[in-house]
């Protein structure tokens, strides 16, 4: 591993998303911790995908701490899973959001602050000017594809909420407090396996019998 010739910035404050959430949730060491973890300073190197998860779990814990909420070990990590995993049902996600609100967390702000691996990449490469020798696992087409799907799902949720709010304000639709869930599933018509995009891209296959030549048996 080796840093670039450019000096590593130690700045904070407003700027990239990582710095904004570090300020909002009072985690001033977040940026430096990311640099150290990615470069493997005194520890094993972490991939961008691992750093994305690390930051978001830390973010949920910080949001709960800021709200003065008492949580059990592992509860913050479970909240993160319930808010973001494709495999979580709409009912479970809504229950998690309601539980966080009861604990005093601004859920809308928290969900907006959750970072993607691309945010981590941009922060490290563009704002902290750090490089390392081995990045083979950091920028795979699978990671890029998953990030694209997540962004589109978030955009669809935002657009849907905008349409509903506009119609509610025009007194054309009547609804109490609501949540929007975008549930995407991919179905193989041969083996009838139905899975989330994350499950498919992570495993790389459905349940069809696969021969060594790459063909699929009927």
**Residue owning tokens 């699929």:** 216
**Residue owning tokens 């949580």:** 71
The two tokens of residue 58 are 């830390």
Q: Which tens digit of pLDDT belongs to each residue from 124-153?
A: 988 998 887 654 444 566 777 777 787 787
DSSP letter at 40 equals T
What is the per-residue pLDDT for 217?
Answer: 43
Side-chain half-sphere exposure of 4, counting CA atoms within 13 A: 13
Residues in contact with 100: Cβ distance below 8 Å, sequence separation at least 6, in sequence order:
63, 64, 79, 107, 110
Helix (H, G, I), strand (E, B) or coil at 71: coil
Q: Which tens digit of pLDDT belongs to each residue from 98-114?
A: 999 999 999 989 988 99
Mean pLDDT of the residues in the chain: 81
Q: Which tens digit of pLDDT belongs to each residue from 74-101?
A: 899 999 998 888 777 778 888 899 999 9
Among 4-18, 175-189, 196-210, the range scoring the smallest mean pLDDT is 4-18
* pLDDT grade for 9, boundaries at 50, 70 and 90: very low
């Amino acid at each position: 591993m080796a840093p670039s010739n450019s000096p590593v910035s130690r700045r904070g404050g407003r700027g990239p998303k990582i710095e904004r959430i570090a300020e909002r949730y009072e985690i001033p060491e977040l940026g430096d911790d990311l640099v150290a973890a990615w470069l493997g300073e005194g520890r094993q190197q972490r991939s961008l995908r691992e750093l994305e998860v690390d930051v978001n779990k830390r973010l949920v814990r910080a949001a709960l701490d800021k709200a003065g909420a008492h949580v059990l070990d592992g509860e913050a990590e479970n909240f993160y899973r319930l808010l973001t995993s494709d495999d979580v049902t709409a009912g479970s996600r809504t229950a998690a959001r309601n539980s966080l609100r009861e604990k005093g967390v601004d859920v809308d702000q928290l969900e907006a602050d959750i970072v993607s691996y691309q945010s981590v990449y941009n922060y490290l490469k563009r704002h902290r000017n750090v490089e390392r020798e081995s990045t083979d696992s950091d920028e795979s087409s699978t990671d890029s594809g998953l990030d694209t799907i997540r962004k589109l799902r978030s955009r669809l949720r935002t657009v849907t909420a905008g349409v509903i709010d506009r119609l509610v304000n025009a007194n054309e639709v009547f609804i109490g407090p609501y949540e929007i869930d975008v549930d995407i599933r991919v179905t193989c018509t041969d083996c009838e396996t139905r899975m989330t995009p994350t499950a498919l891209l992570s495993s790389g296959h459905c349940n069809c019998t696969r021969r060594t030549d790459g063909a699929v048996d009927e």
